[in-house]
Structure 1
Amino acid sequence: MRRLFILFQLLALGFSAFAQNISITGKAVDAADQTALPGATVALIRMLDSTQTVTQTSATGEFKFSVPPGNYYLRISFVSYRTLQKTIPAMESLNLGNLGLEVEAQVLQTVTVVGKIPPGEMKGDTTLYNAAAFKTAPDASAEDLVQKMPGITMANGTLQAQGEDVKQVLVDGKRFFSDDPSAALRSLPADVIASIEIFDKKSDQAEFSGVDDGNAAKTINIVTKPDKRNGYFGKASAGYGTDNKYMVGVAVNSFDGDQRLTLTGLTNNINMLDFSVGETPGGGMRGRRPPMGGGTTSGLISTNTLGLNYSDMWGQKVEVSGNYKFTNRGITNNQFRIQNYTLPSDSNQVYTESRLSSTTNTDHQLNFRLNYKLNENNRLLITPSLSVKESTADNAVSSATSNANGPLNQSDNTTASESQSLTFNNNILYSHNFGRTKRSLSASLNTSYTTVDAENLLQANTVYYRGTATSLDQNLFTNQDRTGFSWTGDLTYNEPIGTYGQGQLMYTVGNQFNDADQRSYDFDEATGTYSQLEPNLSNTFQSTYLTQRFGTGYQFNKDALRVRFNVRYQLATLDNDQVYPYENTYTRRFDNILPSAEMNYKFSATQNLNFNYTTRTTAPSVDQLSEAIDNSNPLLLYQGNFALQQSYQHNIRSGFRYFSPETNRVFFVGLFGSVTQDYIGNSITRATTEPITLANGLVLEKGQQLITPVNLDGFVNARTFFHFGQPVDFLSSNFGLNGSVGYTRTPGLTNQVLNVASATNVGGGLSLSSNISEKIDFNISTNSSYNFVQNSLQGQSNSNYFTQSTNLKYNWIFGPGLVYRTELHHQYNAGLSEGYNANYLLWNMSISKKLFPNQQGEISLSVNDLLNQNVSVQRNITAQYVEDVQSSVLQRFFMLTFTYNLRNFSGSAPAEPSRDHNFPGSPRGGAPGGPPQG
């Protein structure tokens, strides 16, 4: 605390040394229709010593510089626009107003292309790619386009850029489909895109307060072509196939300047989770595609979904966006799993399970965002969201446990459950600029309310082959009622320190309240009702987590170097109050210092290094605290831990980027990692040799287990990733090479003995994507991974396994409007459990005929899984066991599909060919760097 007090004093003394800078502000707009140009590059050059400061325009096209008085030269460049250049005498603060950039109009017949289209460039922290340099099929989506760009990969349904998961997508600097990258990239066709920008977007709180909180999200900004910003476009498809397979989907966009409307809809039973404007006819060609952000499509899935996205400017000061999505999804899955346990003694204990499940989920999601610029010095942001969900599930499970001496137990059970939940969140952010450069005050209030009501019916018969009991029949009804409410308030003050520095003072206070009530009842044969309360399976408790944070920070930004560090003192109190089955009160107080730091250094216009370090604490969840036993699987019981503490996590993120405009070569290497103290892991109590009687009187028979969350130290997760890419001229293609090394250290307890499972992963891959023409489009990639699993407790449980995934996607337009498409996916597994090393070749194919004079229609015959080999196998590593899971998947079917592409633009800008010659740095583009003119 003494050091923290001294730091506050130093900052207070520094606040008196104010810089005598002036501000230069303005807004880049289209000269014709005055629409904002987000992401434009703005350079301000001081004529006295040629010192250059570069920034990019905001989502509303605005920019701002804080510089000493003097004479300056201003240059603004933007894709497909002529560079604006002007001289500015600035002896006092200036607002330049709207600065109009004119479209670089060109006629195809008179254009002479010199050299190659440059694929991209680096602008500060942003990597920018020219869409025209990456050729795709005519009907490709934005998702297809970005996967051809260096450093962007797709892994298990998660889009990654420069080694990190993409969290959100903007269109012309504005949010599109809230924080759902999947909907944004799959709703836009590639041919409306001028360029793609990749950068780390700060959180709303950081952007408003000016204090970087370290919560940056990897973001893709799609810059559309000027002539594609007015009109409507999209795709509609309908298909029917063998085994009563069907698919009807639509994705339609209406763009009218600032107003953007997108409607998406889909109904199908071929495992498609959403509809894409780049969807291959037949749907089955991409039907197994996982959702963006990860997840699984295992099982046989029927989906009905409808989505609407809206964004607009209400006047000059209010920017709004919002989206609504309805989803009704049914999943049938036949799943098999095997778990090989790591135990203190060499008992070779194995758990096997066969599960047939049927689940129906209905989900309504509504998000809204209002950004109100009250005046030059005041801004208000309001972001409410609402989610309403209903779910029903039926499961039939057959499970068994055995060891080297034979079977221990076996259970057959069925469950039927229903649940309803509602979640409402709202965040209000306000910022005030005091009129002096960099001096500001921001305040925020975030509130959240959640309610869950669930019912579950369990009928089970369990046989114990060795122990005190021989068999147990259960017929239980469980009702669960939960309510949660939380709020957080934040206040941040910024003050300039010297010419290049800025100091901050911060205060945050928040509270999380949870009320959980679970009651389980045995069936009473006498009354024919569920009326016999089970104390061990029931629980009523309340939890309150109150936090306060006091902090200070400093930022320095000059030329090529940007440095930030913050430190916060956090006082947190966790109060748990249990009412049933017995009264108990537990209170813990936590004192934490939460430092964070960031450094960004720009070696040159093509080389950039960044480092980010953050810390955070996490309170235990309701499920982890509730001590009511979950016996939905009688062999694998779960019980929360009333005495859990918060966890404390250190995170680092570092990366080096290099891009050569001369050779079009790109290189990125990154390091990502986290270390968690008081990690909330699992403690498994398992009856291996004799039955175990627990403190509450519950008896675990041989082979039965109870899982309880506990706090453990030593969780580590680290990964390094690199990507190298460059064009291969003689193949007219782009080559990519990537590699990674990952390490995870997971602690866990088994019968109170610590085991640490260490998993090391070494992987690498190659990719080749065509850049030949729009008539021939292919992508080839292969990725391999070798995994080493070691256990500190039982060395004979160590295992190694290998996986390789190879993909080919090929589109060929030939003859009079004929299109051939094929996709091949080969999966190779080695080292998994016996019977789970499923190696297969998934082959999808279609032949299509373009229709109508403009070829906007298409009829297609497609086949999914031509060789009928598709399977799904997954390995999971924990501190207590290694698990292999095999699930149901969609297999061979044929489908006939009709597709219609919608295209109708009314923009005044030139048509498609102009994009090929107006990228900054291209032979005819307005490239930064030329001498001032006039």
Structure 2
Amino acid sequence: MTKLLFSLTCILLGWGVYAQTMKFTGVVNDTTNQKPLENVVVMAINLSDSVLLGFTRTNAAGEFLLDNIPFGEMELLFTHPRFADKSYFIIGSELNRDIHIPNVILPNIATELQEVVIYANKEPIFFKGDTLVYQADSFNVKPNAVVEDLLKRLPGIEVDEEGNIKSQGQEVAKVLVDGDEFFGDDPTVATKNLSAEGVQTVEVYETVEDTGDGEETIQVMDVRLKEGAKNGYFGKIAGGSDFQNFYEGEILLNRFKNDLKVSVFGFASNTPNTGFGWSDVRRFGLTNEMDMGYRDGVMFSSGNSRTGLPQNLKGGFYYTDKLGKDLKLGLNYTFNNNTITENTSRNSQYLFADTSFTNTEDNYGFQAQESHSLNFNMEWKIDSLTTLEFEPSVNFTASSRDQIDSSDYFTSSNTRTSGTYVSNFLTSESVDVNSMLRLRRGFKKKDRSLEFEYQYGYSLDDNSTRLLSNITYEPGLGIPDSITDQNKIGSSNTQGHRAYLEFVEPLSKKMKLQFDYKFDYFFGDQSREAFNINGSNEVLDSTFSNNFSNKRFENRIGVAATYETNKDYIMVGADFRNVEIDNHDIWRDTTYRQSVYNILPSMRYTHKFSKSMRLRVNYNTRSSQPSLNQLQPIPDNSNPNRIYEGNPDLIPDYSHNLNINFNNWNAVTGRYIWSGAYAQYNPIAFSSEVTYLSDGRTRSKTINVDGNMYAGVYAGAGINFWKRQLELKPNVNISYSETKNIINVPASGIENLENLTKNANFSGGMEVTFDFDSIRLTLGSEVGYNIPKSTFGNANQPYFRYEYTLRYYHQLPWKMEFETRIDYTVNTNRSAGYNVKPFILNASLGRRFLKTENLIVELKANDIFNQNINIMRDIQSNIITDQTTQVIARYFLLKATLRFNNTKTSEKDEQWHF
């Protein structure tokens, strides 16, 4: 019999609890004569167990009526002896319990059906298996909105100012477009540029990734485009300036045709809208590191977190296509040229049992970076059971940083004891190469599978630094001044190989066994050479020079069992791991060898109370390796006030992690709730040993401690009134942590004192949104209370933080629109000069032009009252630090944005819309 291609019909999924049955009506015709077809058998078959739910036959007019069918996921099968069968897959819905299919056409037996008929879901939110699906058209956005604007309207989705996304209170680690990464690992290219109008659904699901330190469950968001958005051209061109200091410009061109997707983009800006993506922030180092080594406290920031004065030029292209039915190729390239200038002021209080001192700092930093990233991916379906994937990537980065730090130390009586001037100028070039090869093999036996994966990674970093520091002490202290003038040359290269083999064997329809084996080999080498400058001579300083290598072999074998029913999924497993570590201090010809054995248990459980209510429990154990910087056994004097030294005796850490999540949705009322709890316990953790010298300077190194723990609970909800014109969104977050470190104070006779830092944070807020045809108003408030406590010193200074927000959007007559945002932050109990209360007011007024309204001209005002500043508090054991960093404040832009697209009714017919 000719192979059948079933038509799929996705009908509304719902959670209705009032009606218990569905009714199907329609007319059936034959494919040849287009006439009503009599005596067609219409059957409703339950998908989960193939039970016949009901059946009927068509009458002489081809009409059928099938009612009293219980809600659920089912196949609606049409069959007749003279024609081929046809199936529709139905997902039951309370809102559309009466389904009418006006023209069911049965194909000829000798003809293979080519067309897939799709009926769009109309319910705004539903679960498809374990995937949470949002119907984009169910959420109103402003004209010419981008994907990020749409995400901000989705219940349970949060998007911050940098474009970072959370779903149900948890971070979204990856964003895809139609199942593929769009421009590599920078999802903001998609969310900030693609039009919301072309989005069909937004899907959020969890997946398990191997991080090298263990398995980690992450959230993935997949933006699925409408069929019409996959064929044709679309894009945007935008530019704005104040014609004096600030500018923004961007261009995005897309050519989509079925499986072919080609995109080109460019971006240039020196405003807070820099286009920095998630990966840029990590790679470019936009976060200030106040110290080297492990940070075991809490950081709390408010205000605009996009610090510094940036300039950004960014561009790239993206390509993906299917060659034939079985081969899919993808290629993308991204170029970045960035600079950022930072001016930071910092006040640090060092609190001891019998005394205290204060360090004030002013820092200037300028850094520049240019990078080129190229990613390729191939997916080849060798046959119906075998798939081969290949994903190589290469990244080249050249960067420089000029940093000048000036600091002063004061006693508890505010008497100055010393001052420090430090200048560092660093240049570096790095290359990163990674590749992944994966072979998946299925079998004729359902659910049996075999997977092999090989990964290779290589990185090389060469850098040079000029260090100049001058420490001066007040007369009478008897401490000589100290001057350092050094040239430093550094090199680091690492390479790793990983092989992974997994086999899954089904024991029954509900139960499976999984066996896996992983082998890791890692080699890293790091050399540092410091030369003291004496006139025209350079003399090697062995104190700050060394060559160190780290070699690791890891073998891991695991087994897991899964059991799955319609309502429950449970996985229980464990890995046994052995790591052989060989650390070699080459200059001193000293070797540190370690053998580490671990058992790494894991468990995942999901319970579906109903189609709209889920409980997820995830427990795992993880173990990560120390970095080369943490192992290198020489001091780093880049900041002579805070000297860090590696520790070659470090062993891998080990942690138990528990996450619990609960979600409940009601699509009829639009109400939802999400909540969760988490806990982490580290019987082996990385921490720090800090020695406080008599002149206020510190020396630290990373050590292993036991007993660190972190825990918290969080919850949020959405409650709608007046046909969803009013929405209340309360949220609460409670967290608690206990971390240990070791403190030495030789001048006070304190040695190897274990310091326990406890921190409790309570925060909660409410957001109220009024949503009418042309007006949207959101009022929000949040309060946070932080209680730090340390067993050493007096770092027990609770403080409050208050944040108030207002967002207002109004569609005015004459195609005009007005938008404003107010942020007011109140900081309390900070150091003198840091209890600021910035009031930030942004506003824009724009007008849409052209018949399609795709041209927008707007006047934008940022921080009208010129009060924007970044404020951060950092608590580390007995140190409390308040910090402010300069950010871009008031500016005005006149900006124009043109969006364009074309629609195709045939290959020869194109209609352009501007």
Q: Same fold (TM over 0.5)?
A: yes
What is the Cα deviation at residue 539 of structure 1? 1.3
CA apart distance, 1:804: 2.5
User: Which residue number in structure 2 is paired with residue 569 of structure 1?
Assistant: 576
Write the letter of the residue equivalent to 2:317: L
Equivalent residue in structure 1 for 2:499, among 489, 493, 510:
489
Identity %, equivalent residues = 24
Aligned mate of 1:504, from 514, 519, 528: 514
Report the equivalent of 2:656.
Answer: 650
Question: Within the alignment, does 1:516 sit opposite 2:530 as a pair?
Answer: no
Structure 1 CA distance for aligned equivalents of residues 501 and 411 of structure 2: 59
- Whether 2:355 is the aligned partner of 1:362: answer no
Alpha-carbon distance change, 398 to 103 in structure 1, aligned in 2, over 3 angstroms? same
The answer as to 2:618 corresponding to 1:612 is yes
| Of 828, 846, 852, the match for 2:826 | 828
One-letter code of the match for 1:195?
A: T
Cross-structure match for 1:253:
254
The answer on whether the counterparts of 1:412 and 1:461 sit within 8 Å (CA) in structure 2 is yes
1:375 and 2:383 are equivalent in the alignment: yes
The aligned amino acid for 1:177 is F
Q: CA deviation at 1:46?
A: 3.8
- How far did 1:30 drift? 10
Paired with 2:884 and 2:210, the residues of 1 have a C-alpha distance of 41
Q: Mean Cα displacement is larger for which, 469-478 or 762-771?
A: 762-771
Describe how 1:132-147 pairs up with structure 2 within 5 A.
132-147=137-152
Taking the aligned partners of 2:836 and 2:310, their CA distance within structure 1 comes to 22
Query: 1-side partners of 2:158 and 2:74: how far apart?
Result: 26
Q: Aligned letter for 2:753?
A: V
Q: Report the CA distance shift for 1:502/1:883 in structure 2 as closer, same or farther (over 3 A).
A: same
- Indicate if the aligned counterparts of 1:230 and 1:907 stay in contact, CA closer than 8 A: no
Q: Which residue of 1 aligns with 2:803?
A: 805
Contact 2:145 2:195 in 1 (8 A): yes
Q: What amino acid is the match of 1:705?
A: T
State the partner residue of 1:265: 266
- The one-letter code matched in structure 1 to 2:561 is Y
Tell me whether 1:595 sits opposite 2:609 in the alignment. Answer: no
Task: Determine if the alignment matches structure 1 residue 102 to structure 2 residue 123.
Answer: no
Give the partner amino acid of 2:456.
Answer: T
1:443: which partner in 2? 452
CA deviation after TM superposition for structure 1 residue 488, in Å? 0.9
Paired residues of 1:502 and 1:555 also in contact (CA < 8 A): yes
Distance 1:379 1:506, change over 3 A: same
Q: Counterpart in 2 of 1:767?
A: 767
What residue is the counterpart of 1:234 in the other structure? Answer: 235
Structure 1 residue 400, shift from structure 2 partner: 2.0
Q: Which residue of 2 aligns with 1:15?
A: none
Hey, what does 2:57 align to over in structure 1? Answer: none
Secondary structure of 2:651's counterpart equals coil
Find the counterpart in structure 1 of residue 17 from structure 2: none
CA distance in 2: counterparts of 1:25 and 1:339, whole angstroms: 72
**Cα distance in 1 between the residues matched to 2:513 and 2:801:** 50
After TM superposition, give the deviation of residue 678 of structure 1 in Å.
Answer: 2.2
Q: Please say if residues 299 and 887 of structure 1, whose CA atoms lie closer than 8 Å, have aligned partners that are also in contact.
A: yes
Return the match for 2:720 from 716, 727, 733. Answer: 727
Q: Is the 8 A contact 1:371 1:379 kept in 2?
A: yes
Matches within 5 A, 1:115-134: 118-134=123-139
- Quick one: distance in 2 between partners of 1:336 and 1:559? 58
2:474 is equivalent to residue 469 of structure 1: no
- Aligned residue for 1:678, secondary structure, equals strand
The alpha carbon displacement at 1:75 in A equals: 1.2
Shift of 1:265: 1.3
Code of the residue aligned with 2:735 in structure 1: it is: G
Q: In 2 relative to 1, CA 707–359 (structure 1 residues): closer, same or farther, beyond 3 Å?
A: same
Q: TM-score, normalised by structure 1?
A: 0.81
The amino acid of 1:709's aligned partner reads T
Which letter maps to 2:361? E
- 1:894 equivalent among 892, 901, 912: 892
Instruction: Give the structure 2 partner of residue 62 of structure 1.
Output: none
Evaluate the alpha carbon distance shift between residue 48 and residue 267 of structure 1 in structure 2; reply closer, same or farther with a 3 A threshold.
closer
Alignment CA distance shift 1:295-1:561 (3 Å): farther
Alignment of 1:371-450 (within 5 A): 371-405=379-413, 406-450=415-459
Aligned to 2:47: 44
Mapped partners of 2:830, 2:905: distance in 1? 57
Structure 2: runs of 5+ lacking an equivalent: 11-44, 55-69, 76-84, 278-302, 745-751, 908-914
| Cα 1:25/1:655, change in 2 over 3 Å | farther
Paired amino acid for 1:495 = E
**1:748 aligns with one of 741, 744, 750:** 741
Structure 2 residue matching 1:536: 3-state secondary structure: helix
Alpha-carbon separation, structure 1, partners of 2:836 and 2:112: 64
- Aligned partners of 1:74 and 1:45: how far apart in 2? 15
User: Deviations for 1:420-448, whole angstroms, at most 9, x for unmatched residues?
Assistant: 11111111111212321222221111111
Match of 2:158 in 1: 153
CA contact (8 A) 1:520 1:538 kept: yes
Q: Superposition pairs for residues 874-913 of structure 1, below 5 Å?
A: 874-906=872-904
SS at match of 1:781: strand
2:193 is aligned with what amino acid?
S
Q: Counterparts of 1:47 and 1:545 in 2: how far apart (Å)?
A: 52
Within 5 Å, which residues of 2 pair with 1:157-176?
157=162, 158-176=164-182
Alignment of 1:821-860 (within 5 A): 821-860=819-858
State which of 167, 174, 177 in structure 1 corresponds to 2:183. 177
**Structure 1 alignment gaps of length 5 or more:** 1-23, 32-41, 58-70, 89-95, 106-115, 207-212, 277-293, 689-701, 910-934
Greater relative CO (CA pairs within 8 A, separation 6+): 1
Letter in structure 2 aligned against 1:338: N
Q: Give deviations 1:144-184, integer Å, cap 9, x for gaps.
A: 11112111113563311011111112223333333433222
Give CA-to-partner distance per residue, 1:48-107, whole Å, 9 cap, x none.
3669999999xxxxxxxxxxxxx998615699999899999xxxxxxx9988432559xx
| Deviation, structure 1 residue 322 | 3.5
Aligned to 1:864: 862
1:223 alignment counterpart: 224
Cα–Cα, structure 1 residues 445 and 517, in superposed 2: closer, same or farther, change >3 Å? same
Distance in 1 (alpha carbons) for counterparts of 2:791 and 2:506: 53
Aligned residue in 1 for 2:707: 714
Shift of 1:453: 0.4
Distance 1:87 1:879 in 2: 73
Between 349-358 and 714-723, report the one with greater CA deviation.
Answer: 714-723
CA spacing shift, 1:98–1:480, aligned 2, 3 Å: farther
* Map of 1:757 onto structure 2: 757
| 1:82–1:104 Cα contact (<8 Å) kept | no
Deviation at 1:731, TM superposition (A): 6.6
Aligned with 2:635: secondary structure?
Answer: coil
Range with bigger deviation, 397-406 or 598-607: 397-406
**Cα distance in 2 between the residues matched to 1:714 and 1:179:** 35
Residues 782-816 of structure 1: per-residue CA shift (max 9 Å, x gap): 3322111111223x320112222333332322222
User: Aligned to 1:889, what secondary structure does the other structure show?
Assistant: coil
Please give the secondary structure, in 1, of the residue aligned with 2:592.
strand
Checking the alignment, whether the CA contact within 8 Å between 1:445 and 1:489 is kept in structure 2 is yes
Q: Which amino acid aligns with 1:803?
A: R
Pick from 454, 478, 481 the counterpart of residue 488 of structure 2. Answer: 478
Tell me, yes or no, if the aligned pair for 2:7 and 2:87 is still in contact at 8 Å: no
CA RMSD of aligned residues (A): 3.3
Residue 655 (structure 1) shift? 0.8
> Aligned equivalents of 2:276 and 2:638: distance in 1?
35
1:13 corresponds in structure 2 to: none
